[in-house]
Amino acid sequence: MQRKYLLSSLVIASLCYQANAQQYQNPEVVLSLGKYCHVLDDQENSLTAEKALTSSEFVAQINDVPNFGISNSTFWVKFSITNHTDRQKLMLRLAQPFLNEVLLYQISDSKPTLLGRSGDLMKFSDKQNGFQDHVFGLNIPDGKERQFMLKIKSFEQVILPLYLGSEQAVLIGIMQKDSLFAIYFGIMLLMFLYNLFIWFSSKDKSYLYYVIYILAVVISQASLEGYGGRYLWGNWPVLNDFMVYLCSILVGIMAMLFIQNFLKTKEEAPRLNKGLNLLIVLYLLVLALCLAGQKSTSYKLILVLAGVSAFYSLITAGYLILKKNSRPAKFFAYAWILFIICVIVYVLKDAGVLPYNLFTVNSLQLGSGVGVIVLSIALADKINTSQKATIEAQTEAFDAVKGNERMIIEQNVILEEKVKIRTSDLEQAQTRLVNSEKMATLGQLTAGIAHEINNPINFVSANVKPLKRDIDQITGLLKKYLAVTSGPEVSAQLEALSAEAKKLDTNYVIEEMGMLIQGIDDGANRTKEIVKGLRSFSRLDETDLKLANLNECVESTIVILRNGIKEKNINILFNPGDIMSIECFQGKLNQVIMNVLNNSIQAIEANDLPEGEGLIEINTWEADGKIILCIKDNGIGMSNEVRLKMFDPFFTTKSIGEGTGLGLSIVYTILQNHKAETTVESNIGGGTSFQIGIPMNLQSLLADNK
């Protein structure tokens, strides 16, 4: 039963093909075979050529160019040709390069025989005729009929512009297509080089995005039309297939970036700009989907995004025209409307609404080419407008300057007098502030000295009274001994004095007197040490270079600041190196050390460390012809911004009224006078390291500068 059904199906199919065979009569023309084809949609992709041939589900086509959209199916196309010319060698051309697999079978005695293979997944060098279209040679004697079947598979748009003709007629058609694309490529190349040159000159990002956009458009069109595989990457079929997706996505992304930059949507239309950013993200997601192997879905989404992006971009331009009267938006709208019309024509052609002809097939190339030219003009107009505005502004400024020149000359004298007065006022104000800083330092110095001297003086004062008491007691006893006279009462007097001395405990009194005298001596020595440190520190106004040892400068400064250090329970670790004395302005150098130590004390206090954990470490050493002083603390530290401004006059991080901001500025000036190198390292919460390098040969350096 099945055999009978199969046989009847073959007979019916054979009769149908005989009735609908395409009659080829004129070798000078190319005939369309679309209406004479029967197509089988193999949705399962499971049929072999033999099984497909015996299927009864072939459907006759009514369009000159059958269109099956984007499909994962395999399509089997059967058609018959009767040759009525003297040309036995004919050519079959499938003018849709972007098909993954195309196999041609000739049917003889109800059996398919493979005649040729093509497809964009093949190496171009393996194709039979060396064209980007799928071209097959047919051998049909005059007056004979032959039946053929095509197997077609593609993840992209499946359109079948199938043509038959003599070798000469088919080659002419291919050459016409090549010529049109060559013209298109020449125009796009010219625009690419033109905009690239302007980008190199202007460094305007709009041109950079536009150059990449043009390049992506050209490559995507070349890939779609098969020229990419023919001339660029024909021996890498996977790359050839992938470039269509990649360049189409790149076209969308670059278009959005160009629109953002060219129309300044971030400033002029921030809400619409978010939509452009969203489209860029969607394009990237489609790229990820393509890389994951979902080609068919990716191609559909690319087409959808292209349409959405085109209309959204037009809406953005329209908004800027209506709200801002933007001149660049007008140019963009002209170019984009034309491009959208061409895109619509191309899509309607793919959907079968519009016929498959020279205009509809090349509508994308036409739209993109003209659009690129218009947008290039728009970019040039943008630069010209900007330059014109700049020239006008400069002209207005020049006119204003010329008009005010006389008034400026007349006011110069008055202004110079005012400047002199203001300069004098500023100098006086600066002098007052510097004196204020000095007085603040002097006040701190005086308070520290008073406290330091007060301690040993109090100690001496406290020892004087008990010493006087002990002396009075010993003196009184001595006087009584001296008053003893010779006679019978001597023994009694001596016994009485001995009892009184025993009661007084003269040994303890004498020992206590020694201790009190030692305490007084310690207090006096401490006072002497403080006075010596003060004498060393107080050389603030010396203008002559003198020999001084930096270790002694540090020690004298520590003596002066000891009171504040003790009160805040801060530890000082001084590691003096074996350094030589140098010529310097000792008093001013002491002022530098004092300012830096004061800042360290305040930084430690601000860091809120546990009791007794504040530490200032001081080190000195010789290196590279310099005496190095490094003061490091574990205070609150400072940011990089504060570090860069710390030596600026009047800059302070303290509250109003707590500092003048001149301390470190004065320090910086003193260090410059010493030709010293200063390095400050600090970070918030990590303390500060203040390192000073003072040249040993300062006098010769100062002499060279003179």
pLDDT reading at 183 higher than 60: yes
How many angstroms separate the CA atoms of 62 and 408, rounded?
Answer: 87
Q: In this predicted structure, what is the pLDDT of residue 462?
A: 62
pLDDT tens track for 79-104: 999 999 888 899 999 988 888 899 99
Q: What pLDDT score does 471 carry?
A: 81
Could you report the per-residue pLDDT of 560-583, keeping only the tens digit for each?
777 667 777 788 899 999 988 888
Mean pLDDT of 443-456: 59
483 burial via Cβ count (<10 Å: 0-12, 13-18, 19+): exposed
pLDDT tens, position by position, 584-593: 888 788 888 8
pTM across the whole model: 0.49
Segment 520-534, tens digit of pLDDT: 776 676 666 666 555
Lowest mean per-residue pLDDT among 292-296, 430-434, 682-686: 430-434
| pLDDT tens digits along 389-420 | 667 666 676 666 666 666 767 777 777 777 77
DSSP string computed for 583-646:
EE-HHHHHHHHHHHHHHHHHHHHHTTPPTT-EEEEEEEEEETTEEEEEEEE-S----HHHHHHT
Q: Rank 104-113, 169-178, 194-203, 520-529 by mean pLDDT and report only the highest.
A: 104-113
Q: How confident is the model at residue 605 (pLDDT cuts 50, 70, 90)?
A: confident
Residue 658 has pLDDT above 50, yes or no: yes
Is residue 18 predicted with pLDDT exceeding 50? no
pLDDT of residue 612: 79
Average pLDDT, the chain: 78
Please name the amino acid found at residue 646: M
Maximum alpha-carbon separation in the chain? 185
Mean pLDDT value of segment 321-335 = 78
Model confidence over 186-200: pLDDT tens digits?
888 888 888 888 788
pLDDT higher than threshold 70 for residue 3: no
pLDDT at 516: 67
Residue 322 confidence (pLDDT): 78
| Tokens of residue 637, six digits | 């530290």
pLDDT band at 40 (very low <50, low <70, confident <90, very high): very high
Pairing state between β 74-83 and 22-24: parallel
What domains are defined for the chain?
2-174 (2.60.40.2380), 203-361 (no CATH), 426-535 (1.10.287), 541-705 (3.30.565.10)
pLDDT tens figures, 342-356: 777 776 766 567 776
Tell me, what's the pLDDT at 6? 37
Tell me, what's the pLDDT at 39? 94
User: Does the CA dihedral 413-416-418-424 come out positive or negative?
Assistant: negative
Decide if pLDDT at 23 tops 80: yes
Given a cut of 70, is residue 435 above it in pLDDT? no
Give the per-residue pLDDT at 278.
93
